Amino acid sequence: MDVSPELFINGVVAYQKTAALKAAVGLDLFTAIGEGAAGVEALARRTGANTHGVRILCDYLTVEGILQKANQQYALTPSSEVFLNRGSPAYMGDVIEFLASPELIKLFLDDPASYVRNGGSVGLANVAPNNPIWVKFAEAMTSFVAPTAEGLATQAAALPRPPRKILEIAAGHGIFGIAMAKALPQAEVTAVDWENVLAVAKRNAERAGVTARYRPVAGSAFEVDWGGGYDLVLLPNFLHHFDQETCTRLMKKVRASLTPQGCAWAVEFIPNEDRVSPPFPAIFAFIMLGSTPHGDAYTPSAFVEMGRAAGFRDISITPLPPSPQSLVAFTP
Protein backbone atom coordinates (compact mmCIF):
# COMPACT_ATOMS: atom_id res chain seq x y z
CA MET A 1 0.00 0.00 0.00
CA ASP A 2 1.34 3.43 -0.97
CA VAL A 3 1.91 5.89 1.83
CA SER A 4 0.21 9.12 0.80
CA PRO A 5 -1.67 12.07 2.34
CA GLU A 6 -4.12 12.04 -0.61
CA LEU A 7 -7.12 10.60 1.26
CA PHE A 8 -6.63 13.08 4.09
CA ILE A 9 -6.26 16.12 1.82
CA ASN A 10 -9.20 15.06 -0.37
CA GLY A 11 -11.34 14.72 2.73
CA VAL A 12 -10.31 18.09 4.13
CA VAL A 13 -11.24 19.92 0.92
CA ALA A 14 -14.36 17.84 0.14
CA TYR A 15 -16.47 20.96 0.71
CA GLN A 16 -15.07 22.27 -2.56
CA LYS A 17 -16.72 19.42 -4.47
CA THR A 18 -19.99 20.29 -2.74
CA ALA A 19 -19.54 23.92 -3.85
CA ALA A 20 -18.84 22.88 -7.45
CA LEU A 21 -21.93 20.71 -7.60
CA LYS A 22 -24.10 23.43 -6.06
CA ALA A 23 -22.79 25.88 -8.67
CA ALA A 24 -23.39 23.47 -11.54
CA VAL A 25 -26.92 22.60 -10.44
CA GLY A 26 -27.69 26.26 -9.73
CA LEU A 27 -26.56 27.24 -13.24
CA ASP A 28 -28.34 24.21 -14.75
CA LEU A 29 -25.01 23.36 -16.34
CA PHE A 30 -25.71 19.64 -16.78
CA THR A 31 -28.97 20.28 -18.62
CA ALA A 32 -27.23 22.78 -20.89
CA ILE A 33 -24.57 20.22 -21.80
CA GLY A 34 -27.23 17.54 -22.27
CA GLU A 35 -29.02 19.81 -24.74
CA GLY A 36 -25.92 20.35 -26.84
CA ALA A 37 -24.03 23.33 -25.38
CA ALA A 38 -20.65 21.62 -25.24
CA GLY A 39 -18.00 24.38 -25.47
CA VAL A 40 -17.09 27.05 -22.95
CA GLU A 41 -18.51 29.94 -25.00
CA ALA A 42 -21.80 28.15 -25.62
CA LEU A 43 -22.11 27.16 -21.96
CA ALA A 44 -21.35 30.69 -20.80
CA ARG A 45 -24.10 32.07 -23.05
CA ARG A 46 -26.56 29.41 -21.97
CA THR A 47 -25.92 29.76 -18.22
CA GLY A 48 -25.27 33.49 -18.13
CA ALA A 49 -21.94 32.86 -16.42
CA ASN A 50 -18.41 34.12 -17.09
CA THR A 51 -16.35 32.05 -19.54
CA HIS A 52 -13.40 31.94 -17.14
CA GLY A 53 -15.66 30.60 -14.38
CA VAL A 54 -17.41 28.08 -16.63
CA ARG A 55 -14.13 26.68 -17.95
CA ILE A 56 -12.68 26.17 -14.47
CA LEU A 57 -15.90 24.67 -13.11
CA CYS A 58 -16.24 22.24 -16.03
CA ASP A 59 -12.60 21.20 -15.78
CA TYR A 60 -13.00 20.59 -12.05
CA LEU A 61 -16.08 18.44 -12.61
CA THR A 62 -14.19 16.53 -15.31
CA VAL A 63 -11.32 15.78 -12.93
CA GLU A 64 -13.90 14.55 -10.40
CA GLY A 65 -15.44 12.21 -12.98
CA ILE A 66 -18.77 14.04 -13.22
CA LEU A 67 -18.17 15.39 -16.74
CA GLN A 68 -16.13 14.19 -19.72
CA LYS A 69 -13.90 16.37 -21.93
CA ALA A 70 -12.45 15.87 -25.40
CA ASN A 71 -11.19 18.47 -27.92
CA GLN A 72 -12.26 21.34 -25.62
CA GLN A 73 -15.83 20.03 -25.62
CA TYR A 74 -17.66 18.80 -22.52
CA ALA A 75 -20.11 15.91 -22.30
CA LEU A 76 -22.16 14.25 -19.60
CA THR A 77 -21.17 10.90 -18.15
CA PRO A 78 -23.85 8.19 -18.23
CA SER A 79 -24.65 8.87 -14.56
CA SER A 80 -24.84 12.67 -14.88
CA GLU A 81 -27.03 12.22 -17.97
CA VAL A 82 -29.53 10.16 -15.97
CA PHE A 83 -29.49 12.00 -12.65
CA LEU A 84 -28.39 15.61 -13.31
CA ASN A 85 -30.01 16.50 -16.65
CA ARG A 86 -33.44 18.00 -16.04
CA GLY A 87 -34.64 16.33 -19.21
CA SER A 88 -34.26 12.93 -17.55
CA PRO A 89 -37.22 11.39 -15.68
CA ALA A 90 -34.72 10.29 -13.00
CA TYR A 91 -33.37 13.83 -12.40
CA MET A 92 -32.41 14.36 -8.77
CA GLY A 93 -30.39 17.58 -8.77
CA ASP A 94 -32.94 19.17 -6.42
CA VAL A 95 -31.77 16.99 -3.52
CA ILE A 96 -28.85 19.37 -3.15
CA GLU A 97 -31.28 21.93 -1.69
CA PHE A 98 -31.54 19.74 1.40
CA LEU A 99 -28.39 17.61 1.49
CA ALA A 100 -26.16 20.65 0.96
CA SER A 101 -28.41 23.22 2.61
CA PRO A 102 -26.76 25.98 4.68
CA GLU A 103 -28.41 24.54 7.78
CA LEU A 104 -26.81 21.12 7.36
CA ILE A 105 -23.43 22.45 6.26
CA LYS A 106 -23.26 24.70 9.31
CA LEU A 107 -24.40 21.90 11.58
CA PHE A 108 -21.72 19.49 10.38
CA LEU A 109 -18.77 21.84 9.99
CA ASP A 110 -19.02 24.46 12.73
CA ASP A 111 -17.82 22.22 15.58
CA PRO A 112 -17.74 18.54 14.59
CA ALA A 113 -15.72 17.50 17.63
CA SER A 114 -18.65 18.62 19.82
CA TYR A 115 -21.15 16.09 18.51
CA VAL A 116 -18.57 13.32 18.76
CA ARG A 117 -17.98 14.28 22.40
CA ASN A 118 -21.73 14.47 23.04
CA GLY A 119 -22.66 11.33 21.12
CA GLY A 120 -25.04 13.36 18.98
CA SER A 121 -26.16 16.80 17.91
CA VAL A 122 -29.10 18.95 18.95
CA GLY A 123 -28.63 21.47 16.16
CA LEU A 124 -31.11 20.13 13.64
CA ALA A 125 -33.84 19.71 16.25
CA ASN A 126 -35.24 16.83 14.24
CA VAL A 127 -38.18 16.32 16.58
CA ALA A 128 -39.02 20.01 17.06
CA PRO A 129 -42.57 20.83 15.95
CA ASN A 130 -42.85 22.40 12.49
CA ASN A 131 -39.10 22.81 11.97
CA PRO A 132 -38.70 24.50 8.53
CA ILE A 133 -35.81 22.18 7.62
CA TRP A 134 -38.27 19.33 7.13
CA VAL A 135 -40.29 21.36 4.64
CA LYS A 136 -37.05 21.82 2.70
CA PHE A 137 -36.46 18.07 2.99
CA ALA A 138 -39.96 17.26 1.73
CA GLU A 139 -39.66 19.60 -1.24
CA ALA A 140 -36.15 18.52 -2.25
CA MET A 141 -36.09 14.75 -1.79
CA THR A 142 -39.09 13.64 -3.86
CA SER A 143 -37.07 12.56 -6.90
CA PHE A 144 -34.59 10.65 -4.74
CA VAL A 145 -37.20 8.42 -3.08
CA ALA A 146 -39.75 8.06 -5.89
CA PRO A 147 -38.26 4.90 -7.48
CA THR A 148 -38.09 3.14 -4.11
CA ALA A 149 -41.63 4.21 -3.22
CA GLU A 150 -42.99 2.95 -6.52
CA GLY A 151 -41.15 -0.36 -6.10
CA LEU A 152 -42.68 -0.89 -2.66
CA ALA A 153 -46.13 -0.03 -3.96
CA THR A 154 -45.74 -2.69 -6.64
CA GLN A 155 -44.78 -5.21 -3.95
CA ALA A 156 -47.81 -4.26 -1.86
CA ALA A 157 -50.15 -4.63 -4.83
CA ALA A 158 -48.80 -8.14 -5.45
CA LEU A 159 -49.50 -9.38 -1.91
CA PRO A 160 -52.13 -12.13 -1.51
CA ARG A 161 -54.11 -9.66 0.59
CA PRO A 162 -53.24 -6.16 -0.71
CA PRO A 163 -53.55 -3.56 2.05
CA ARG A 164 -56.66 -1.40 2.05
CA LYS A 165 -55.92 0.79 5.08
CA ILE A 166 -52.39 2.23 5.20
CA LEU A 167 -50.60 4.50 7.67
CA GLU A 168 -47.48 6.45 6.73
CA ILE A 169 -45.47 7.76 9.69
CA ALA A 170 -43.29 10.85 9.19
CA ALA A 171 -44.77 11.15 5.71
CA GLY A 172 -42.77 14.23 4.69
CA HIS A 173 -43.34 14.61 0.96
CA GLY A 174 -45.87 11.77 1.18
CA ILE A 175 -44.42 9.96 -1.82
CA PHE A 176 -44.46 6.49 -0.23
CA GLY A 177 -48.12 6.67 0.79
CA ILE A 178 -49.12 8.36 -2.46
CA ALA A 179 -47.43 5.60 -4.48
CA MET A 180 -49.46 3.07 -2.48
CA ALA A 181 -52.68 4.95 -3.17
CA LYS A 182 -51.93 5.02 -6.90
CA ALA A 183 -51.06 1.30 -7.06
CA LEU A 184 -53.99 0.25 -4.85
CA PRO A 185 -57.18 1.99 -6.02
CA GLN A 186 -59.16 0.73 -3.02
CA ALA A 187 -56.60 1.77 -0.42
CA GLU A 188 -56.96 4.71 1.95
CA VAL A 189 -53.83 6.36 3.33
CA THR A 190 -53.38 8.23 6.61
CA ALA A 191 -50.27 10.42 6.72
CA VAL A 192 -48.70 11.63 9.99
CA ASP A 193 -46.23 14.51 10.20
CA TRP A 194 -45.92 18.10 11.36
CA GLU A 195 -48.59 20.40 9.93
CA ASN A 196 -46.21 22.54 7.85
CA VAL A 197 -44.66 19.43 6.27
CA LEU A 198 -48.04 17.87 5.54
CA ALA A 199 -48.81 20.87 3.33
CA VAL A 200 -46.19 19.53 0.92
CA ALA A 201 -47.63 16.00 1.08
CA LYS A 202 -51.15 17.30 0.43
CA ARG A 203 -49.97 19.16 -2.67
CA ASN A 204 -48.29 16.01 -3.94
CA ALA A 205 -51.44 13.97 -3.24
CA GLU A 206 -53.49 16.48 -5.19
CA ARG A 207 -51.12 16.29 -8.16
CA ALA A 208 -51.37 12.50 -8.05
CA GLY A 209 -55.17 12.61 -7.97
CA VAL A 210 -55.54 10.68 -4.70
CA THR A 211 -56.73 13.46 -2.36
CA ALA A 212 -60.07 11.75 -1.69
CA ARG A 213 -58.24 8.73 -0.22
CA TYR A 214 -55.48 10.68 1.55
CA ARG A 215 -56.00 11.77 5.18
CA PRO A 216 -53.35 13.97 6.84
CA VAL A 217 -52.98 13.87 10.64
CA ALA A 218 -50.76 16.59 12.10
CA GLY A 219 -48.58 15.99 15.15
CA SER A 220 -45.77 13.95 16.66
CA ALA A 221 -45.76 10.27 15.74
CA PHE A 222 -45.05 9.53 19.39
CA GLU A 223 -48.02 11.50 20.71
CA VAL A 224 -50.76 11.79 18.08
CA ASP A 225 -53.72 9.39 17.96
CA TRP A 226 -53.51 7.97 14.44
CA GLY A 227 -56.23 5.36 14.92
CA GLY A 228 -56.02 1.63 14.29
CA GLY A 229 -57.04 -1.25 12.08
CA TYR A 230 -54.19 -0.74 9.61
CA ASP A 231 -53.17 -3.42 7.15
CA LEU A 232 -49.82 -1.75 6.52
CA VAL A 233 -47.80 0.85 8.41
CA LEU A 234 -44.99 2.58 6.53
CA LEU A 235 -41.97 4.06 8.31
CA PRO A 236 -39.79 5.48 5.53
CA ASN A 237 -36.46 6.92 6.70
CA PHE A 238 -37.62 7.55 10.25
CA LEU A 239 -36.30 5.05 12.80
CA HIS A 240 -32.67 6.05 12.26
CA HIS A 241 -33.35 9.43 13.88
CA PHE A 242 -33.75 7.90 17.34
CA ASP A 243 -32.04 5.62 19.83
CA GLN A 244 -33.03 1.96 19.93
CA GLU A 245 -35.19 2.30 23.05
CA THR A 246 -37.22 5.09 21.43
CA CYS A 247 -37.60 3.07 18.22
CA THR A 248 -38.88 0.11 20.23
CA ARG A 249 -41.42 2.32 21.98
CA LEU A 250 -42.71 3.60 18.66
CA MET A 251 -42.87 0.09 17.19
CA LYS A 252 -45.02 -1.03 20.13
CA LYS A 253 -47.47 1.72 19.19
CA VAL A 254 -47.30 0.58 15.57
CA ARG A 255 -47.92 -3.04 16.59
CA ALA A 256 -51.02 -2.05 18.53
CA SER A 257 -52.48 -0.22 15.52
CA LEU A 258 -52.24 -3.17 13.09
CA THR A 259 -54.89 -5.72 12.17
CA PRO A 260 -54.01 -9.35 13.06
CA GLN A 261 -52.83 -9.88 9.47
CA GLY A 262 -51.16 -6.49 9.14
CA CYS A 263 -47.46 -5.65 8.94
CA ALA A 264 -45.08 -2.70 9.16
CA TRP A 265 -42.49 -1.74 6.53
CA ALA A 266 -39.51 0.46 7.37
CA VAL A 267 -37.10 1.79 4.75
CA GLU A 268 -33.60 2.17 6.18
CA PHE A 269 -29.86 2.37 5.48
CA ILE A 270 -28.62 -0.87 7.06
CA PRO A 271 -24.90 -1.61 7.50
CA ASN A 272 -23.60 -5.12 7.96
CA GLU A 273 -22.81 -6.29 11.48
CA ASP A 274 -19.20 -5.10 11.01
CA ARG A 275 -20.60 -1.53 10.63
CA VAL A 276 -18.09 -0.64 7.90
CA SER A 277 -19.84 -2.19 4.90
CA PRO A 278 -21.51 -1.61 2.50
CA PRO A 279 -20.06 1.91 2.18
CA PHE A 280 -23.08 4.23 2.10
CA PRO A 281 -25.19 2.50 4.79
CA ALA A 282 -22.05 2.34 6.95
CA ILE A 283 -21.23 6.04 6.68
CA PHE A 284 -24.87 6.94 7.28
CA ALA A 285 -24.27 6.45 10.99
CA PHE A 286 -21.97 9.49 10.95
CA ILE A 287 -24.69 11.53 9.23
CA MET A 288 -27.00 10.65 12.10
CA LEU A 289 -24.30 11.46 14.67
CA GLY A 290 -23.95 14.96 13.25
CA SER A 291 -27.64 15.71 12.73
CA THR A 292 -29.63 13.99 15.51
CA PRO A 293 -29.40 13.74 19.29
CA HIS A 294 -29.21 9.92 19.43
CA GLY A 295 -29.75 8.55 15.90
CA ASP A 296 -27.85 5.71 14.26
CA ALA A 297 -27.68 3.36 11.28
CA TYR A 298 -28.95 0.10 12.73
CA THR A 299 -27.62 -3.35 11.85
CA PRO A 300 -29.89 -6.31 11.01
CA SER A 301 -29.53 -7.72 14.53
CA ALA A 302 -30.58 -4.39 16.03
CA PHE A 303 -33.77 -4.34 13.97
CA VAL A 304 -34.55 -7.91 15.00
CA GLU A 305 -34.02 -6.97 18.63
CA MET A 306 -36.25 -3.89 18.54
CA GLY A 307 -38.93 -5.68 16.50
CA ARG A 308 -39.19 -8.62 18.86
CA ALA A 309 -39.17 -6.32 21.89
CA ALA A 310 -42.14 -4.53 20.31
CA GLY A 311 -44.09 -7.76 19.88
CA PHE A 312 -43.35 -8.69 16.26
CA ARG A 313 -42.78 -12.36 15.55
CA ASP A 314 -40.87 -12.10 12.29
CA ILE A 315 -38.44 -9.41 11.08
CA SER A 316 -37.03 -9.73 7.57
CA ILE A 317 -34.62 -7.47 5.67
CA THR A 318 -34.55 -7.19 1.89
CA PRO A 319 -32.29 -4.91 -0.20
CA LEU A 320 -34.01 -2.34 -2.42
CA PRO A 321 -31.67 -1.92 -5.41
CA PRO A 322 -30.59 0.26 -7.07
CA SER A 323 -30.91 2.38 -3.92
CA PRO A 324 -28.52 1.74 -0.99
CA GLN A 325 -31.51 1.16 1.28
CA SER A 326 -33.30 -1.94 2.51
CA LEU A 327 -36.84 -2.88 3.45
CA VAL A 328 -37.37 -4.05 7.04
CA ALA A 329 -40.64 -5.97 7.26
CA PHE A 330 -42.12 -6.44 10.75
CA THR A 331 -44.81 -9.15 10.96
CA PRO A 332 -46.85 -9.87 14.13
Helix extents (H) in the chain: 6-12, 14-26, 29-34, 40-47, 51-63, 78-83, 96-99, 102-109, 112-118, 132-140, 142-157, 175-183, 195-208, 244-256, 279-291, 300-309
Torsion over CA: 260, 263, 264, 269 (sign): positive
For residue 134, what pLDDT is reported?
86
For residue 124, what pLDDT is reported?
63
pLDDT band at 159 (very low <50, low <70, confident <90, very high): very high
pTM above 0.85, yes or no: yes
Average pLDDT on 85-98 reads: 94
Per-residue pLDDT tens digits for 114-134: 999 999 997 665 556 677 888
Q: Rounded to 10 degrees, what is the CA torsion of 44, 49, 50, 52?
A: -70
Per-residue pLDDT tens digits for 17-29: 999 999 999 999 9
Per-residue pLDDT tens digits for 43-68: 999 999 999 999 999 999 999 999 99
pLDDT band at 83 (very low <50, low <70, confident <90, very high): very high
pLDDT band at 267 (very low <50, low <70, confident <90, very high): very high
